[in-house]
């Protein structure tokens, strides 16, 4: 049991700090484009599927409106996207990518890829890690 707690403590720090390091790497690349890491994740989601409601986006990103609304407002102000209330159901707000987001996509992802490759991360290792993370996520979610 003592060992278990030590292990648990180490996992806490490992996830917390890896996530933080990861964010920092991305931040350093993204600030050239005037983007934050969460904003980049939001763009990743929109590049995959455009013209979605705030709710849909929230489900994709695991975020509530308390986080999304102000974030979307900022990104709209910066010209990445456009918000428009749905005509058919005025409760919904639809998010549309702006030209800027479509045009810069390549430049952004290329730069990211370049930096990531610079870390010499082995693909196999990468996949292993992701599998582990997803496994843990499932178990964490299942509990709730």
Partner DNA sequence: TATTATTGTATCGTGTACGATTTAATCTTA
Partner DNA sequence: TAAGATTAAATCGTACACGATACAATAATA
Nearer to its own copies, 19 or 31 (CB): 19
Q: Could you say which DSSP state residue 121 is in?
A: -
**Binding site partner of 83, from its own copies, DNA, none, Cβ cut-off 5-8 A by kind:** DNA
Q: What is the Cα–Cα distance from 32 to 38, expressed in whole angstroms?
A: 15
97 near its own copies, judged by CB under 8 A: no
Which tokens go with 97? Answer: 């990518």
Q: What is the Cα–Cα distance from 123 to 60, expressed in whole angstroms?
A: 25
Kind and range of the H or E run holding 93: strand 93-97
**Binding site partner of 71, from its own copies, DNA, none, Cβ cut-off 5-8 A by kind:** DNA
Least distance (Å) between residue 37 CB and DNA: 7
Cα distances (angstroms) measured from residue 86 to each of 90, 99, 109: 5, 20, 31
- Which residues contact DNA (rule: CB under 7 A)? 20, 23-24, 27, 36-39, 53-55, 58, 62-72, 74, 83, 88-94
What angle is formed at CA 48 by the lines to CA 28 and CA 42, rounded to 5 degrees? Answer: 40
Nearer to its own copies, 107 or 127 (CB): 127
Contact positions vs its own copies (CB under 8 A): 1, 4-5, 7-22, 24-26, 28, 41, 44, 62, 109, 112-113, 115-121, 123, 125-130, 132-137, 139-144
């Amino acid at each position: 049991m003592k060992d278990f707690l030590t292990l648990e403590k180490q996992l806490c720090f490992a996830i917390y700090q890896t996530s933080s390091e990861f964010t920092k790497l991305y931040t350093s690349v993204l600030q050239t484009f005037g983007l934050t890491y969460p904003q980049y994740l939001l763009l990743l989601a929109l590049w995959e599927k455009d013209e979605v409601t705030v709710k849909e986006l929230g489900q994709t990103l695991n975020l509530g409106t308390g986080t999304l609304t102000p974030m979307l407002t900022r990104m709209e102000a910066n010209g990445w996207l456009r918000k428009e209330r749905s005509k058919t159901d005025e409760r919904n707000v639809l998010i549309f990518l702006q030209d800027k987001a479509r045009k810069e996509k390549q430049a952004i992802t290329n730069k990211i890829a370049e930096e990531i490759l610079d870390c010499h991360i082995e693909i196999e290792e990468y996949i292993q890690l992701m599998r582990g993370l997803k496994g843990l996520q499932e178990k964490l979610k299942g509990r709730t």
